[in-house]
């Protein structure tokens, strides 16, 4: 994390770090997900928020359905062209910084539905940070994706070496 943990607080009583690292630590441990669930993956996502695979252990406690108060959009379920413009509009309503998880095969590349109404992957109109495959992915896979987002956030603002 870049924090100089020098026998914490029993020693000198202070830590040194950079502002980016501190902000990233705060952001990644308090992600406010916005569940954009449309189909079957939404049920597995509800399972992740429920008691067995609790996502609030990772700080993502506040699952807000309002995009203006969220920073992580979990798109789960098939996105059709009729719904795509709604999805894009919701994404644009989220304030920066924001991340997107594409959960499930349908969001990654259309899934089993290669038909006239389904978008073959939401990266046609949204910038995606983490893709999770599966139909539906196990809740552990979604938790792994959130952890990958946390790692990605850690690298924000870091100098490119």
Partner 1 sequence: MSFDLASAIETLEGSFPGSITGTVEYRGETTVLVDKKDIAGICRTLKESFGFTFLAELTAVDYLEVKTPRFEMVYYLHRFGPEYDENVRIKLKAAVTEDDPKIDSVTPVWKGADWLEREVYDMFGIEFTGHPDPRRILMPEDYGPFPLRKDFDVRNREASKLSFEKALDQDAE
Partner 2 sequence: MERVEFISERSVINRETGLREENMMLNMGPQHPATHGVLRVVLYLDGEMVVKAVPYIGYLHRGIEKLCEHITYQQCLPYTDRMDYLASICNNIGYILAVEKLLGIEDEIPERAKTAEVILFELGRIESHLVGIGTNALDLGAMSAFLYCFKERERIYEILETVCGARLTTSYPRVGGLPLDLPDDFEEKVWNFLKIFPKTLTEVDKLLTRNRIWIDRTKGVAFISGEDAVDLGLTGPTLRGSGVPYDVRKAMPYLGYENYDFEVPVATDGDTYSRYLCRLEEMHQSLKIIEQALKNLPDGPYAADLPDVVLPEKQLTYTRMESLIRHFVLVYEGFKPPAGEVQHAVENPKGELSYYLVSDGSGIPYRMRVRGPSFVNMQALPQIVQGSLVADVIAAIGSLDIVLGEIDR
The site for partner 1 (CB under 8 A) is made up of 80-82, 84-85, 88-89, 114-117, 120, 125
Going residue by residue from 51 to 80, which x/- string records binding to partner 2, judged by CB under 8 A?
xx------------x-----------xx-x
Q: How far is the CB of 73 from partner 1 (least distance, A)?
A: 17
The pair of structure tokens assigned to 106 is: 């349908």
Shortest Cβ 132–partner 2 spacing (Å) = 14
Smallest separation (angstroms) from partner 1 to the CB of 80: 8
3-class DSSP state for residue 33? strand
Q: What is the closest distance, in whole angstroms, from the C-beta atom of residue 152 to partner 2 in the complex?
A: 25
Cα–Cα distance for residue pair 54/35, rounded to 1 Å: 15
Residue 40 sits in the site that holds partner 2 (CB under 8 A): yes
Q: Name the residue nearer to partner 2 (CB basis): 1 or 117.
A: 117
Does 135 help bind partner 2 (rule: CB under 8 A)?
A: yes
How many of the other CB atoms lie within 10 Å of CB of 136? 23
Q: Are 71 and 157 in contact (CB under 8 A)?
A: no
Nearest distance in Å: CB 133, partner 2: 14
Is residue 149 packed enough to be buried (19+ CB in 10 Å), middle (13-18) or exposed (0-12)? buried
3-state secondary structure of 149: helix
Contact status: 9 vs partner 2 (CB under 8 A): no
Is residue 24 within the footprint of partner 2 (CB under 8 A)? Answer: no
Distance of alpha carbon 17 from alpha carbon 144, whole angstroms: 27
Secondary structure (3-state) at 131: strand
Q: How far apart are the first and last CA of the chain?
A: 17
Residue 142 binds partner 2, judged by CB under 8 A: no
Asked if 133 and 108 touch (Cβ cutoff 8 Å), the reply is yes
Q: Which residues would be at the binding site for partner 2 (CB under 8 A)? A: 36-40, 42-44, 46-47, 50-52, 65, 77-78, 80, 82-83, 86-87, 90, 112-118, 135-136, 138
């Amino acid at each position: 994390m870049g924090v100089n943990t020098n026998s914490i607080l029993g020693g000198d009583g202070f830590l040194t770090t950079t502002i980016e690292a501190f902000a990233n630590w705060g952001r990644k441990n308090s992600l406010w997900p916005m569940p954009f669930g449309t189909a079957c993956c939404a049920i597995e996502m509800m399972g992740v928020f429920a008691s067995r695979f609790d996502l609030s252990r990772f700080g993502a406690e506040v699952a807000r359905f309002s995009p203006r108060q969220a920073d992580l959009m979990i798109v789960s379920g098939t996105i059709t062209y009729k719904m795509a413009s709604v999805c894009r509009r919701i994404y644009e309503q989220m304030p920066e910084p924001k991340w997107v998880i594409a959960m499930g095969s349908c969001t990654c590349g259309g899934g089993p539905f290669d038909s006239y109404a389904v978008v073959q992957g939401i990266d046609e109109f949204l910038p995606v940070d983490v893709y999770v495959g599966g139909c539906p992915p196990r809740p552990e896979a979604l938790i792994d994706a959130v952890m990958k987002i946390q790692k990605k956030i850690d690298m924000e603002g870091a100098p490119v070496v």
